[in-house]
Structure 1
Amino acid sequence: MNSDDSDMENMNEVDVAELLEAFGTIGSEQIVESDEEAASTDEPDTLQTEILKAQIQQLQFADQVINNDLPTIAIATQSSVVIVAAKMQANCLVVSDSIMRMENISKYIAIAYAGLAGDFRELTKSAVKLYYDNIMKHNAEMRGKQVANDLRKTILKNAQLPKLRPFAIQLLIGNWSNDHGHLYQLDSYGTLKSPNFACIGRNAKEANGYLKKMNLSETNTVESTILFGIHALKLALETEVICPFELDVGIIDCNGFRYLSQEVISENLYTLFTLKYPEVVK
């Protein structure tokens, strides 16, 4: 399931109704801080327009942050969800000193991102709290879709309230449930999608175009899915060579979430670049 991202440009001559529509106000889901703010409908239209323009400019800035960040790719199949993310080196002289681009919040749910690392930490902490609160209250584990919907509410709140800064982040949420891999994508506007594959961050359009061209199937093996993900990451990074320490590969399947070791990543890179699977790079 793929849909083009909405174009939020040319905001200089837009009326209030168009701003509200572009802003993502969805019926009763519009978030209001208090009854006093809800009642303050007598403000001049010009002030309302300026407030909305400022909010949308913040969202556009968030998009720029996301689109300039390192790419992250996720692919869901019947047997697994594979996440491939470029590593951010905190210190280029220390290979082991890197910032994790994905985190598991439970055995069968993991979240990856493109955007601000601080926003990612805040949202993952919120997701972990919601997950274990649900276990305490209902004695049941949350599924990926529930986690995605709860995070969506938090992102919408920050996107819609003028006093809060929008999250400069896109999330990919992978989940294994009902003997199947599931993938959810959240953007800074609070838009929730459930694609079979997605690339976020730098050059996402090119990587998504490649994955679409490959006609990925739900029956793809984990091994071939990893190769597709690595090659898509290579295209997004616009590089001919990727070293094992420059990426992380995570898998969510019936055994839960796990990272691939550097040795296994090296083997996959060797397989990819020696063209043992030419259909992956055609």
Structure 2
Amino acid sequence: MANSKFSLTTFSSQGKLTQIEYALVAVEHGDTCLGIKARDGVVLATEKKFNSILVDETSVSKAAVISDHIGASYAGITADFRVLMQKARKYAISYKSTYHEPVPSSQLCQELSTVVQEFTQSGGVRPFGVSILLASFDHEGPHLYQVDPSGAYFSWKAAAIGKNMTNAKSFLERRYNEEQGLEDAIHTALMTLKEGFEGEMNEHNIELAVVGADKLFRVLTPNETRDYLSEIQ
């Protein structure tokens, strides 16, 4: 019975794969990350905390560009996120090279979740200890997806992952408005993070990324983040 906890492909008596449960624990210990879909775009907001004051915060980013119109952020193990982003970028480039048009975010999300799921049933590997929020904007409008360590993926109006996700989801359920614009969504995202944030929020420990109808996916600069933070103080 004890050995079953270390087996990747053996179900427990409760019908669960224990290694996936452990991967979800890694996600729950990660910095809080959330995404909000607005009328004209999507915002991703995440905490960016460090174990030491000696870390150069400018060298660390919690959001990543996948293609012009798709990007992602995460909660969990940073190295796992980096590997998955490399796979996502390769798929996006391959799709554009083959079909001469940008990859649909729904198809990229499905491809990424398939890769994650394969690591829940293969010998010699372990599940990815990371949950990812994908944000995009295309001809159909804004999209926000969540990919979990099990390989399951969901489309959300607003979502939160990481250590304070329960409180963040409760706050978003109360404050979310489908008619809000991207600027209002950024303010809502920062207010949501503020609810469970320990210490003072600033441009060094908070990161914002946006994508919209007239905006390619990009991570906001520290100065832009500081300006938004000043508006909610």
TM-score scaled to structure 1, two decimals? 0.74
**Is 1:198 matched up with 2:194?**
no
Give how far 1:61 is off.
1.1
- The residue number in structure 2 matching 1:270 is 230
Match of 2:168 among 170, 186, 207: 207
Alignment RMSD, CA only? Answer: 2.3
Q: One-letter code of the match for 2:161?
A: I
Whether the 8 Å contact between 1:78 and 1:179 is mirrored in structure 2 is no
Q: d(CA) in 2 for partners of 1:118 and 1:63? A: 16
Question: Whole-Å Cα distance in 1 between the matches of residues 57 and 50 of structure 2?
Answer: 8
Per-residue CA distance 1:124-167 (angstroms, 9 max, x = gap): 00001111111122222101111100001101100122432011
CA–CA separation in structure 1 for the residues paired with 2:92 and 2:64:
14
Q: Which residue among 243, 258, 261 is the counterpart of 2:221? A: 261
SS of the residue aligned with 2:120? helix
**Residue aligning to 1:71:** 32
Query: Which structure has more helix as a fraction of its residues?
Result: 1
Q: How does 1:1-282 map to 2 (within 5 A)?
A: 51-53=10-12, 56-89=17-50, 91-178=52-139, 180-214=141-175, 216-237=176-197, 239=198, 241-253=200-212, 254-273=214-233
Residues 31 and 75, structure 2, Cα contact 8 Å, conserved in 1: yes
Q: 1:228 to 1:162 in 2, by over 3 A?
A: same
1:53 is paired with a residue of what secondary structure? Answer: coil
Contact 1:90 1:99 in 2 (8 A): no
Q: Could you tell me which amino acid in structure 2 is paired with residue 60 of structure 1?
A: E
Q: Which amino acid in the other structure matches residue 248 of structure 1?
A: E
Q: Is the 8 A contact 2:9 2:17 kept in 1?
A: no
Percent sequence identity over aligned pairs: 23
2 CA distance for matches of 1:100 and 1:49? Answer: 31
CA distance in 1, matches of 2:9, 2:126: 16
The alignment of Structure 1 onto Structure 2 pairs a total of residues equal to: 226
Give the equivalent residue in structure 2 for 1:35. Answer: none
Which structure's residues are more often strand, by fraction? 2
Q: CA deviation at 1:228?
A: 0.7
Question: Which is higher, the Rg of structure 1 or of structure 2?
Answer: 1
Distance between the aligned counterparts of 2:39 and 2:58, measured in 1? 34
**Cα deviation per residue 1:225-271 (whole Å; 9 max; x = unaligned)?**
1111011112243x352111111111101221122222222222121
Question: Following TM superposition, where does structure 1 have runs of at least 4 consecutive aligned residues deviating by more than 6 angstroms?
Answer: none
Classify 1:50/1:257 alpha carbon distance in 2 versus 1 (closer, same or farther; 3 Å): closer
Check whether the contact 1:105–1:128 (CA below 8 A) recurs between aligned residues: yes
